[in-house]
Structure 1
C-alpha cells in the first residue's frame, strides 16, 4: 500500500501538464465566479508561487490573464447578431459587476469597445469561398452565407450554430441570385477564383473585398480582412495572443520532433482526410 501511494504521489508531482489542464478546465467551468490565485492554486494542489510559474510556463500567459480572455470570449459570443442582450447583462453573466471595468478589459483584449464590437457584429458578411470562414471566426464573425460544401465539424456546429448560415450553391450564377435576395453588407472572396465578370456582379450587390491567395500568407490575409471589416485593432490583438501562444508551444516541444516526418489528417466518422493546405503548413511547421 505504501509503494502504491508513493507512486501515485510521484505521478501527481511529475504530471504537471495534466494538473494545469485540470485547472484550465476548472477556470472554463467556473469563470462566472470570483476566482483568485489562491483558489486556483488550491485546485492544483500546490503553492501560489509555484502555480503561477507552472501555468505561465504551460500556456504563455498567467492564469488571471487566461480567465480574463475566456470571460471576454464568452461575452463576445453573447454579442452576435442572433442575440439581443444588453451590455450590463452580458457583463454580469460573464462575471463582471463593474461595467466600466468590463469595458476596459473588453477593449484591452479585443482592441475595440464593446459598443463598437456589437455594432459591427450586426453586419451581414458573406464568405464567398469556404477557406475565408476561418478568418471570420477568428474575428468572432459568423458569416451570414457560406458555401454549402464547407465541412462544418461537430465542434463548429456546437460553438457557432452554422445552421443559421445560408448555404451557397456550387455554381456562381445561383450564388449571385441567392445573394441578391440576401442583401449582404460586405462580400469576401478569393481573387484568383473569380472571373472579372463575377467580380463585377458581386460589387454591384455589395462592397466586395478580394483576398489574394498567391501574394499573401495567412497573417497578411487576416490583417487585410480585418482592415476591410474595420476590425484592424481586433486583428492585431488576436495576432498578439497567437504569437505568445505559438512561442509557448515551441518552447514546450521536444526538438527531436524536427527530425521526424509527419502526415496531418482529420479522422471524422468513417473518413480520413489528409490536410495539406498552405495555412496548416505555415502554422504547424513554420510557427
Structure 2
C-alpha cells in the first residue's frame, strides 16, 4: 500500500513539474526547484522524471521549446528567428538555429517557408497528409480526439509533423473563428457531413478553395497540388507509392493468391461488409495488392450484415479492419460465428489497423510499410 501511494505521489509530482516546464520556457526553473515542487531530492527527481517521461528534464525542456517555436513560426505572421528564440527562452539566436536544425532536420528559415502560403484545412478527411507530402504545413487542420486520444487526435505518423498546427476537432462542427484566427491565405474545404455551413467562412469566400469528394487518393493530391502550384512534385510521390505497392504485392502474393476475401468492420452496433472499389483502403487491398474479392460482396460502399449473412456469404478468408477488441469479442461469441467458412478453416485475420488510412501519401506509405507483417501475424483464433 505504501509503495502504491508513493508511486502515485511521484507521478503527480512529475506531471506537475511538466506543466511548470511548459509554462516557464522563457525562464525555466532549476532542477533543484523542480525537485522541490515534486517533493523529491534532485537526483531522485531526475531519475523519476526520466523513467516517467522517457527523457531527462533538460531534454524535455528542449522538446517543449522546439514545439513552442514551431507554433510561433506557424501562427505568428512576420515573426523572425530572433523573436522566436527569445520567446522560447534561448538568448543566442545562432545557438537556437543550430538546436532547431538538430531536432527538426531543417533550419528555422526553411521551416518557416513551409507555411509561407498559409493554408487551413476544413474537412473531415486528413488533407494535411497531402499538404505535408508537398512540403507545406497547414496552419489549421482536422483532428479526431476520441479516435486518436494518445496522439493529439491524429494518427501517430502525422503527430510530429503537425506540431505548431492548430488542430480543429472534426468530431464536432468546426468553429469558424478558430479557423480564421490562424489568418489563412487560403482555406481548402471539402463538403462536410450533414451539410454543415460555415457562415463566417462563407463571408471570406474569396479565400476558400472548394474540393469535391474523391474516390481515389491521388485525385486529392493532384487537385491540391494544382491549386498551390506544386504539380511538379506529384509524379515523384505517385511513383514512390506505386513502387512500394508492387513490392508489397509481390511479398504477400503466396499468402493472398488462394481463396476469396471479404473485408468487414465490426462496430458497436453493426457489422459492415465492404465493397471492392471506390474506397482508398479497399481499392488498395483488392486492386493494388492482389486480394481476390468474393463475388457476392458489394461493388462499392458497404452493407450492414448479420453474422448469419456472413455464414451465407461463405468467404474463404475474412479480414477484420478498424475494429475494437471488445466489439470483436462480442461478435465471436455469437453461436453462428463458428459456422462461417473462414472461421472453420482459421482464415480470419484481425491486424492492428486503427491507423490504416491510405487516403494520403504519408498514410498510404505508413500502411504499406507495415502491411505484410501486420497481416501475416494477425490470425484470429476463436
After TM superposition, the score normalised by the length of structure 2 is 0.42
**Counterpart Cα distance in 2 of 1:202 and 1:13:** 50
Aligned to 2:104: 110
Say which structure is richer in helix. Answer: 1
Quote the offset at 1:55 in angstroms. Answer: 0.7
Q: How does 1:1-287 map to 2 (within 5 A)?
A: 11=5, 14-80=8-74, 82-125=76-119, 127=121, 130-132=124-126, 135=129, 141-142=137-138, 151-152=169-170, 161-163=178-180, 164=182, 166=187, 168-170=189-191, 192-193=215-216, 204-205=226-227, 206-207=229-230, 213-214=280-281, 261-262=325-326, 278-279=354-355
- RMSD, aligned α-carbons: 4.8
Aligned to 1:174: none
**Counterpart Cα distance in 2 of 1:86 and 1:183:** 28
Post-superposition Cα deviations, 1:203-258, rounded to whole Å, max 9, x if no partner, equal 64443658885359xxxxxxxxxxxxxxxxxxxxxxxxxxxxxxxxxxxxxxxxxx
Does the CA-based 8 Å contact 2:101-2:107 persist in structure 1?
yes
Higher RCO (CA 8 Å, separation ≥ 6 residues): 1
Quote the offset at 1:130 in angstroms. Answer: 3.3
Aligned to 1:222: none
The DSSP-based 3-state class of the residue aligned with 2:125 is helix
Structure 1 unmatched runs, 5+: 1-6, 172-177, 217-259, 264-275
Quote the offset at 1:29 in angstroms. Answer: 1.4
Structure 1 pair 195–91 and aligned structure 2 pair: CA distance change class (3 A):
closer
Quote the offset at 1:161 in angstroms. Answer: 3.9
Does the CA-based 8 Å contact 1:128-1:188 persist in structure 2?
no
**Counterpart Cα distance in 1 of 2:213 and 2:12:** 42
Structure 1 pair 189–40 and aligned structure 2 pair: CA distance change class (3 A):
farther
After TM superposition, the score normalised by the length of structure 1 is 0.54
- Of the two, which has the highest radius of gyration? 2
The DSSP-based 3-state class of the residue aligned with 1:21 is helix
Structure 1 pair 188–278 and aligned structure 2 pair: CA distance change class (3 A):
farther
Count of residue correspondences: 206
The DSSP-based 3-state class of the residue aligned with 1:78 is helix
